[in-house]
Structures are given as C-alpha cells and as structure tokens.
Amino acid sequence: MMHHLKLFALLGVATASLAAPPISVESPEAAGLSSERLNRIDVAMQGYVDRKDVAGVVALVARHGKVVYHKSFGNRIAGQNAPMSNDVIFRIASMTKPIASVALMMLYEEGKFQLRDDIAKFLPEFKDMKVAVPPPSGSGPIKLISAGPITMMHILSHQSGLANPYRGPNVADYNKIRESRKPDWAIGDYVKELAKLPLNFEPGTSWEYGPSTDVVGRLVEVLSRQKLDEFLNERIFEPLGMSDTAFYLPKSKMNRLAALYVKGKDNKIELSELPDENSRWIKEPHIYFSGAGGMVSTTSDYFRFHQMMLNGGELEGVRILGPMTVRLMTSNHIGDKKIWITGHGAKFGLGYSVATAVGQSGLPNSVGTFSWGGAYGTVFTADPEQDMIVVLMSQIRPYSHLNIRRDLQTLAYSAIID
C-alpha cells in the first residue's frame, strides 16, 4: 500500500484515490448527549440554506470518540441537481495550518530542532532580518533596524513579525509578491521572496496572523528532505485513513468538490467558483504546497485528524505524536498578547487557538479547547475536558455576517446531558 501511495504522490495524485469507509453514527445517548437536543442543529443549518446564506453545509459532532451527529444540508452546487452529502470535499483554507504544524512537531519529536532555534539555521534566507519602523508622525520614510532571530516557536505561534496582507507597513510589497507568483513556483520560491521583506515587529513581541505557516511547511520540506505533500501523505494521511485530504484533487473527484460562493446582494450567496477543471485545486501544475491554507478535506477526514489529537496523538493504534507534544502544542505560547482574529477568551499555541476564559468568549467550550477556522466558512473545535469534537464545513467568503459557526457550537454543547 505505501509503495502505491508514494507512486500516487509522484504522479501528483492525491492519496485519496482510495476511498475511506463512511463513518458510522452512534447513539448520542451512549456519549452523554440528547438526540432531541442535537436535532435542533437540523433546523438551524437548514435555515441557513433556505435563506440562501449558504449553498450547503455538513456538520459533525463527536464525543468520547463516537460520532453522534453527521448530517448534510442544501446543495454542493446551488441550483443544480447536486445535493450536499457527508463525503463532499471542501477547501479548508487556514484549517491547513494545524496539519502543517503537527507535521513540523513530528520532526521536533525526532530531534531535528528545538523551539528556541533560529529558523535561519535551516532557512538561511532569514539571516539578518530587519524590522520596518514607521515614522512617529505617520508620514515620512520608514526606518529599518536590525531584528532578533525568528525562532521555531515564533513561526509556529504567529509571533514572527513576517509581512502579511492584513496590516503593517509592508502590505503593498507583500501583495506584490502574491501577484507576481510564477506558475512554476514551489513554496520555497515564495518563502525566499517573503524573507526579502522587512518584519512588521521584533519577533516575539506581538501576535499577528500571516504567512508564518507557509514557512512551517517549508521547514518540514527542508528538515525531512521531502516535498510537503509527500510527507503529509506518507506520515499522516495514509496512516490515519484520511483519503480525501490533499493539496490538489484528481479530476475523478471533481464531482465531490463543493462550489465556492461569496456574499452577494442582500447577503445572499453568489457563485465564485465552480468545481471544474479550472479550479486551482484541480488544474495543473500540482507543485505549490501552502501549509498556511492550501488543502481540501472532508468532515470525516478532519474529524479523524483531531480525534488523533484529542487522544493524545494516537488513533486506532497509529501514533502520530506523543501526548506531551500534543499538550505543548495546545498550551498558551503568547502570554498576555492579544489575538485580534478570535477576540476575547483565547490565546495561541503551536498551530492552534486555545480557549483560556469561557466567560469572555461567549461560547460554551471548556478552557483548553483548541480550534481554528478557515476563510471559506469552515471551523473545528476539540475540547479535551468534554472529550468532544465539532466540525462544520461550508463554502462562503466572507462569512462574518453569519452566526453559523457559533450556532453549531452552541447547539452541540447544549445537547450535553451527562
């Protein structure tokens, strides 16, 4: 089997050519949840479809290792005879980040690096970085000063200071890199261009979302001497049975990829991208592997990955990480720094947001819950205290005008009765 998987990877075919068996749904009561209360999710999710807020959605709830809710609503492609189903494949965007981070931490467990190591030890293009300091008055030249090292911990926890498309003095220059990306670029080419830009702040002094996890993915390649897709296929996806998770899909799976939508007039969905041969997740070349946001997956696959994490790094006899490394990844690594994406009640670990104060978040997740979402309306949470996983997949950007992700969390947790 492994020989065949390596061959698929070399051919640019997702490991997914082998279909995963469907996940069986067990009695909610056996896991301490109420069937009646879980069924409230049906009404809420169908409501989002009926209002044309989303084309379709798949929701999954699991507790104590048992999937107790797994349902689909709406359509894979709105207005066509293409109903949503539990095996539909979604663009998971930034939910790629936890997977890439786990891959790098697998190499940490092999003694390839320490978290305090300078990334320039492995990526010399990051030597002698500069910090861009805007003028105090808001106008005038930007001053460049020498920066301290970007450590492996900084790059895993978004404390690197790297230029990004959201904020800081380098937004325009960063976007020029993205716009000028050549078709034959690999992730290493992009990372070298990124390293030419000055930092937004001294590494370790702030938290700022950005392209750090693309550097994480490149570090996996350098330390393992494998392309990122090959490493993930051989070391994570195939062992865990995640047969529908990949950077690119073969054309044979095109009819399982959901269409992508944007918020249109009156907040109703408008088509952005059909799941056809022109989709960047299908068309060639298959050579650019973004650890920050390049993957597609299903609710089933993503559940399996995080059941492994919730189990302390093991699933069905396959160990990916040790329990202490999982604990390390899901601890607060940023101190009192603010996360401007998630709001109050959360900090950040290594690849994960970590809940630190239930009362501030407005959600019922326990302290210690680790989670993240994707730009196209996907989200997951894994709650060690309740031994519970919630996954939602939809395809809408932007999604901030909708409560669908928070609604699923609320309704799933309100079903706990034991």
Rounded (10°) CA dihedral 165, 166, 169, 175: 20
**DSSP conformation letters of 82-115:** -B--TT-BEEEEGGGHHHHHHHHHHHHHTTS--T
Contacts 24+ apart (CB under 8 A), 81-85: 83/56, 84/55, 84/56, 84/57, 84/58, 84/258, 85/58
d(CA 373, CA 24): 25
pLDDT at 406 over 60: yes
pLDDT at 88 over 90: yes
d(CA 100, CA 103): 5
What pLDDT is stored for residue 182 in this prediction? 87
- At 292-338, the pLDDT tens digits run 999 999 999 999 999 999 999 999 999 999 999 999 999 999 999 98
pLDDT-based confidence at 141, cuts 50/70/90? confident
pLDDT at 143 over 70: yes
Structural domains in the chain, sorted by start: 2-95+226-414 (3.40.710.10), 104-221 (no CATH)
The reported pTM is: 0.93
DSSP 416: B
Closest CA to 407 of 62, 48, 56, 34: 48
Average pLDDT value over all residues in the chain: 93
Strand duo 143-146 + 260-263: pairing: unpaired
- At 170-184, the pLDDT tens digits run 899 999 998 888 889
How many CB atoms are located within 10 Å of the residue 43 CB?
9
Structure tokens at 100: 């890439």
Rounded mean pLDDT of 394-399? 96
% the chain with pLDDT above 70: 94
Lowest mean pLDDT among 133-137, 263-267, 332-336, 366-370: 133-137
What pLDDT is stored for residue 21 in this prediction? 67
Q: Report the amino acid identity of residue 106.
A: M
pLDDT-based confidence at 134, cuts 50/70/90? confident
* 3-state SS assignment for residue 257: strand
pLDDT-based confidence at 16, cuts 50/70/90? very low
Q: Report the amino acid identity of residue 10.
A: L
What pLDDT is stored for residue 13 in this prediction? 37
- At 200-258, the pLDDT tens digits run 999 999 999 999 999 999 999 999 999 999 999 999 999 999 999 999 999 999 999 99
CB 58 within 8 A of CB 72: yes
Rounded mean pLDDT of 270-283? 95
Rounded mean pLDDT of 79-106? 97
Rounded mean pLDDT of 358-371? 88
What pLDDT is stored for residue 20 in this prediction? 59
How many CB atoms are located within 10 Å of the residue 62 CB?
27
d(CA 399, CA 402): 6
pLDDT at 63 over 90: yes
Residue 267 contacts by C-beta under 8 Å, 6 or more apart in sequence? 53, 401
What pLDDT is stored for residue 343 in this prediction? 67
